[in-house]
Amino acid sequence: MKHIPRKRFGQHFLSDGGIIDAIVDEIHPEPGQPMVEIGPGLAALTQPLVERVGHLTVVELDRDLAVRLRLHPHLTVVESDVLKVDFTALSQQMLTGHSATKIRVVGNLPYNISSPILFHLLEHVAVIEDQHFMLQKEVIDRMVARPATSDYGRLSVMLQWRYAMDNVLFVPPESFDPPPRVDSAVVRMVPLATPPQVNVKTLETLVQVAFSQRRKILRNTLGKWLDEKGFSGTFDLQRRAEEVPVEEYVALVQAL
């Protein structure tokens, strides 16, 4: 029976063979690698991946799709909302008796909850080797944006302090069934080998305050917040939030 895409799950299924091959090439799966796919759907990406790695763990929320996927002999199916999956615990299960020390994560993420998924995975970054995700191109533009550009913002800072990221592939709407109303792209996210030591919650609050009124000079937003924190160091507040590089936000949090 043909599966009807469900709008509440943000389902858009990849159907372009050339794009699928290009995504798999960018992921570059190797035999035996422990890999998790988020949102396998109709297995368009799943099948070529499992052919390369031998076995794949998939996270699928849609009950009907999960039933289909369980019929595949080389898949371990986790039927769950991805935001409720403990990837650290999952990695321990996958790596038992394995020579690898970390898992790889891939997926065509539901565009309506892509940012929450990215922040959820950030909590488990210590067990992840790399991530390849298809997302709305507009979101990836923000993820990889450089300072002093209109796309540079909270998402840029909160991910770039921990990952090296690249927009590796453009995916047009007609590559999907049904076609989404937006352009898509694929991002590669590699956790930094020696990330700076920061209090993530403090960084999150600081960045949120800084970008709360991004057109205003930081003295009017972040300056007041720093005063409340009793900050006595030096930081140039005569700039807008989008003009401050990631490393300066990180250094400010460390100084606090």
| 60 annotated among ligand-binding-site residues | yes
| 236 annotated among ligand-binding-site residues | no
| 167 annotated among ligand-binding-site residues | no
Contact assessment for residue 217 and residue 238, using Cβ atoms and an 8 Å cutoff: yes
How many whole angstroms separate alpha carbon 106 and alpha carbon 186? Answer: 10
| 108 annotated among ligand-binding-site residues | yes
| 72 annotated among ligand-binding-site residues | no
Show Cβ contacts of residue 98 under 8 Å, excluding neighbours closer than 6 positions. 34
**On the CB side of 8, how many CA atoms lie within 13 Å of its CA?**
3
* Residue entry with tokens 């020390």: 101
Contact assessment for residue 50 and residue 72, using Cβ atoms and an 8 Å cutoff: yes
- Return the structure tokens found at 57: 């763990």
How many whole angstroms separate alpha carbon 22 and alpha carbon 62? Answer: 26
**Residue 77: strand, helix, or coil:** strand
Per DSSP, what are the bridge partners of residue 78? Answer: 59
Binding-site residue numbers are 12, 14, 39, 60, 81, 108
Binding-site residue numbers for S-adenosyl-L-methionine are 12, 14, 39, 60, 81, 108
